[in-house]
Structures are given as structure tokens and as C-alpha cells.
Amino acid sequence: MEANSYISLSLAAAARRDLEVTANNIANANTAGFKGERVAFEAYLLPNAGGPDTEFVIDAGSYVDTRQGGLVRTGNPLDIALNGDGWLSYRTPEGQIAYGRDGQLSLSADGILQTQSGAEVLDSGGGTITLPPGITDLKISPEGTISSEAGELGQIGMFDVPAIQSFERLGAGMFAPPPGAPDDTQPAQSTELVQGSIEASNVHPVAEVTRLMEVQKSYERATKLIENEDKLVREALRRIGRMG
């Protein structure tokens, strides 16, 4: 069986996967704390008896672009942004521990610090942070210490997560460790918390739109190759028919 069409098909499939990931990046170009995703492609070698090996494209994995997003000033005392490689730690409503960089925080009716989707923000010891009512002057230091005129109220935990690439993306800006993975998170070394700002999405719009064009071109190339292969086979059959 001729493998040529299938090689081109693997390219078309890869381009489609790339399009989906790029579409998601663009859709989240205004999502605070969002980290872009990229697909990593690999060659899949199929040994070919008596000839060069055939190479297919496969999407081996996708990885997170962990670069810093820009800081946008909002002036809201409960908006925080991280400057550095650290991550905030959350407990989702389902009780799962996850990490993320979305710092658009609010308080629950009981005064518990949480995200817009209701995940609790954890302190460095993994506990929730409760703020008393009637605070007028809320200050959060670069180290994450929350204080007001009533004194110190708690500390927002910031963590270095070396294995973030192997984490599962949950949505809502959260990354959760795969089940059974060893916990190698540590208190963040060189991350600063900025109060009154949010971290913008780190998606570069121009790069993503260029990516779209690139994806489209490689998809067209793949279908063109399939068409050419088809023409070639038909031409060969026509000639063989004439000889007979």
C-alpha cells in the first residue's frame, strides 16, 4: 500500500490540532493569568523494507508557555498579580489542589478569599484565608502578607512548581498535578506579588495570527500533496491500461 497519501494526511491532522490550540489561545487573549499552549510535533518512523524509512507527523504533546504576562493596573485591592515564576495555590470546589496565576480575587459571604469561580486561595501552609468584616485599608505585601489597620491577617501562598508541564489543565486558569505524582512544589524563591494589578494573558496576538496563517498554508500543502499523489496514481493506471 502506498503510504504517501497517509503521510500527507498526518500533516493535515497535525495542522488541525495546531489550529484548535491556536484558536484557544486567541479566545483567551484577554483572560487574566492565562498561559498560552503550544503543540509539540514529532516524527513517527515507520521502517520500510528496502527503502528509506517513512516518517509520519504525530502530535506528541502540548506544552504550556509559562512566560510572564504583562501587569495591568486595576486599582482594585483584591486584584493581585505575580511577577516571577511562582504560582498561586487553589482548592477547587471539588476539593482538588490546583495551581494558577489568576489573581482576580473576591471574598465569599463568610470572608474567605477566593477566585471568581469559587476556588479558595490557599496560604503557604495550604489553609484557606479568612478576612474579618469591616476592613477599610487592605494591604498585600510583595511577600503575600495581608494586613490592615487591625494588623496581620494572613499570607497568600506562592509556590514554585517545577513539574508544571506535566500538570493537567483544568480550565479556569488552573493546573492540577496528575494523580499519584510526587509533590515537589516549594515556597516560591523569587516571586513578587503586586497588589492592585492583574497579570494579562501571555498570548501574543500577532504571533497567534501568524500561526493561523502558517497552519492554513501547511493544511493546504497537505491536501495538495494528497491530490498530486492521486493524480500520479491515476496517470500510472491510464498508461498501464494503454500498454495492455
Partner 1 sequence: MKALSIAATGMLAQQNNVDVISNNIANANTTGFKSARAAFQDLIYENVSREGALTSDQGTIAPTGVDIGLGVQTSGTVRLNTQGGFLSTENKLDVAVDGQGYFVVNTPDGGRAYTRDGAFQLSAEGQLVTMQGYEVDPGIVVPENTKAIEINEQGVVMAYVESDPNPVELGQLSLATFINDGGLRPMGNNLLEGTAASGDATTANPGDPGFGIVRQGYLENSNVNIIQQITDLISAQRAYEMNSKTIETADQMMSTANRVR
Q: State which of positions 158-197 bind partner 1 (CB under 8 A).
A: 165-173, 178, 180-181
What gap in Å lies between CA 242 and CA 224, rounded to an integer?
A: 27
> Angle of helix 4-27 relative to helix 205-243, nearest 10 degrees?
160
Binding window for partner 1 (CB under 8 A); candidates: 60-68, 86-94, 121-129, 152-160: 60-68
What gap in Å lies between CA 65 and CA 199, rounded to an integer?
A: 14
Q: For the chain, state the CA radius of gyration.
A: 25
Number of residues that bind partner 1 (CB under 8 A): 73
Identify residues 39-58 at the interface with partner 1 (CB under 8 A). 39-40
Binding window for partner 1 (CB under 8 A); candidates: 82-90, 101-109, 151-159, 185-193: 101-109
Give least dist CB 98 to partner 1, A: 12
What gap in Å lies between CA 12 and CA 15, rounded to an integer?
A: 5
What gap in Å lies between CA 171 and CA 100, rounded to an integer?
A: 10
In the complex with partner 1, the residue whose CB is nearer, 86 or 173, is 173
Give least dist CB 91 to partner 1, A: 16
The single residue among 4, 24, 54, 68 that binds partner 1, judged by CB under 8 A, is 24
Give least dist CB 233 to partner 1, A: 13
144: alpha, beta or left? (left if phi > 0; alpha if psi -120 to 50): left
Establish if 74 lies at the interface with partner 1 (CB under 8 A).
yes
Binding window for partner 1 (CB under 8 A); candidates: 84-92, 100-108, 153-161, 184-192: 100-108
Contact 11, 221 (CB under 8 A): yes
Reading the block at residue 11, the C-alpha cell is 500533516
Give least dist CB 177 to partner 1, A: 9
Binding mask 191-230 for partner 1 (x = CB under 8 A): --------------x--xx--xx-xx--xx--x--xx--x
Identify residues 118-137 at the interface with partner 1 (CB under 8 A). 131, 133-136
The single residue among 26, 71, 97, 194 that binds partner 1, judged by CB under 8 A, is 26
C-alpha dihedral sign at 88, 89, 91, 96:
positive
Neighbours of 154 (CB within 10 A): 19
The b-or-e profile of 91-114 (16+ CB within 10 A means b, else e) is bbeeeebbbbbbbbbeeeeeeebb
In the complex with partner 1, the residue whose CB is nearer, 144 or 173, is 173
Residue from 65, 85, 71 nearest 211 by CA: 65
Give least dist CB 38 to partner 1, A: 10
Give least dist CB 124 to partner 1, A: 23
